[in-house]
Amino acid sequence: PRGRFCWRHLLVELGSRYQVVALDLPGYGASEKPPGKESYQLESLAQVICQVIEQLRAPPGNQQPGTGAKGTPRGCCLVGHDWGGLLAWEVASRSPNLVEKLVVMDAPLRGVMPGFLCCHPSQLLRSSYVFLFQLPWLPELLLSLADFELVRSVLLSPWLGVQNPERRLTEEEVEVYLYSLSQPGGLSPPIHYYRNLFRDTPIPRDPPPAPTLLRWGSHDAFLDPRLVPVLRRRLRPAARCHLLPGASHWLPEDQPQALAHILTDFLEGGH
């Protein structure tokens, strides 16, 4: 995940029709960066997202909140990608009253990966960086070497980065991402997300009750697109799960216009 900056294209596409809010997750960008990896466990992070949604739907002053059919405040359409998608699954399952519709991009449900890895061991290669990130201090050192050259090469890679030739990151856009990582204490929090992966015990939950749209890049280099049919079987029958042909893992930047059309259809077309 790369913070709210990765949503810049979709904010432009959707901002004229909807109230759109993009967040820096805790530890990213301009958000607070609490010390210690305990602050970045999924349960704690999901709680933060729930609190943000509650605050956003609270009416200012004496205005009346927008309400649903039963007089309760309306939920949001929650859209998440990568780590944000993992958190979106969690929030929609544990607090369904907050989420009216759910959109997840390139992020699996908790508990799916162990079984998938047994059947598709090639995913271990795609996820090999996760095991490196379990080590103390060494990942921070390697990523920061030569002015974050490793991070820069991944973001600009024609295989690991954005696939759409018209949307590949410019040097200026890469610098935006590297700026937050280069600030004091800016590199460890994103790695702490991964350090908690094997500490968090997935809590069995029913599939999210909200109408759900799952989109996945067919050329995702990090998460095997064969996860899509596996996830489809775990969701409610009405969930819409599709691959976006030719797209990379970085969907919000790779295919923003196509996604804007898909999201608008999902928002206005019911389930």
Q: Which two tokens stand for residue 2?
A: 């790369």
Q: Is 249 labeled as catalytic in the residue annotation?
A: yes
Contact status, residue 63 vs residue 43, Cβ threshold 8 Å? no
Catalytic residue among 28, 40, 81, 82: 82
Catalytic residue among 194, 220, 224, 254: 194
Contact status, residue 198 vs residue 134, Cβ threshold 8 Å? yes
Please identify every residue annotated as catalytic: 82, 194, 249
